Amino acid sequence: MSQHYWSPVVRGLVPYVPGEQPKVANLVKLNTNENPYPPSPKVFEAIHAAVNDSLRLYPDPDASALKKAIADYYAVDSSQVFVGNGSDEVLAHVFLAFFKQAQPILFPDISYSFYKVYCGLYEIDYRTIPLNEQFQIDVADYHHVNGGIIFPNPNAPTGCLLSLAAIETLLQANPDSVVVVDEAYIDFGGETAISLVNQYPQLLVTQTLSKSRSLAGLRVGLAVGQAHLIEALERVKNSFNSYPMDKLAIVGGVAAFEDKAYFQQTCQAIIDGRELLAQQLKDLGFDVLPSAANFVFARHPHKEAVQIAAALREKAIIVRHFKLPRIEQFLRITIGTEAESQALVEALKAL
């Protein structure tokens, strides 16, 4: 009875399961790649100033102030920028706008698990391409007829970075379908592919303010590409929700892009914390994949990942474990504050 009224597609859905957000005090929360530092003080000022009578009115359906701030930041035209309620929403629109094709889309076997979920929702065929032995994307493996290609760069949950040169090789070999680079973690040491969008009409780059700009709670994501791709996304958005960006998200997002100094300072602190933690984990005997993200992906040659995760949890430290083929022995550990990383290292030493 419970599914009696459901449409067939809903019966078949396998929804994404977000990392836990436990309501426990004093937790060392290293499981969802949130930023340990607060948002820029300028974001708070902008949001406070926008809490007024004008909330009575609908926001700008085009979020043009936010698009302009992003366009200025990346030196592109506003017509090349799309914004949405988190990059998850942007990605959902991307799948419908570009990937619902006769041929399957391609993405890595070990990657962001939401991609399969969108394929289920929009009834899109996909084919996964295995990462190589070093858990890296090899673009030579993507020479297949396809309805589109998507991968995170750096990849999640491995943290491994693909060079811009490799991305260009892929674009040159694949001119006829859209290639999406999901740059959720690019600010922690990678180089954005936005510099390539004017050369490649099939390239779309997505980003989020959730990780490097400490605004996971505000829900702001974006895409940059040539105007013809953005127009397709606007068509989907305006067939779904005219006002995905509320007034507070628009002004907060603008302030986040304007405060470059704070952004650079917090990103650098996370990069320094990552290099230190990676070394400490190696000293404890872990294999640590090279990371360009705000997390590390590590395995211990003699200890079961599930058991390490359970033992850490006893000490109120939460990390992410994926019960998936090839990566069952790995833990994904978000870079926290110096104190949080030290608490983790002490707990691991005690184990």
Ligand X SMILES: *Cc1c(COP(=O)(O)O)cnc(C)c1O
Binding residues for ligand X, per CB under 6 A?
86-88, 112, 152, 156, 182, 184, 208, 210, 216, 221
HSE of 238 in the Cβ direction (CA atoms, 13 Å)?
A: 11
**Closest separation in Å from C-beta 72 to ligand X:** 21
**Closest separation in Å from C-beta 242 to ligand X:** 20
**Closest separation in Å from C-beta 155 to ligand X:** 8
Query: Nearer to ligand X by C-beta: 249 or 271?
Result: 249
Instruction: Answer for the pair 182, 152: CB distance below 8 angstroms, yes or no.
Output: yes
Residue 300 backbone dihedrals phi, psi, to 5 degrees: -105, 135
Q: Give the residue among 338, 316, 263, 351 at the shortest CA–CA distance from 73.
A: 263
Question: Is 222 in a helix, a strand, or coil?
Answer: strand
Residue 185 backbone dihedrals phi, psi, to 5 degrees: -120, 15
**Closest separation in Å from C-beta 85 to ligand X:** 8
Query: Nearer to ligand X by C-beta: 39 or 86?
Result: 86
Distance between CA 321 and CA 300 in Å, rounded? 13
What are 202's strand-pairing partners? none
DSSP class per residue in 90-102? HHHHHIIIII-SS
Structure tokens given for 267: 């990103």
**Closest separation in Å from C-beta 294 to ligand X:** 10
Query: Nearer to ligand X by C-beta: 266 or 300?
Result: 266
Query: Nearer to ligand X by C-beta: 31 or 343?
Result: 31
Query: Nearer to ligand X by C-beta: 112 or 126?
Result: 112
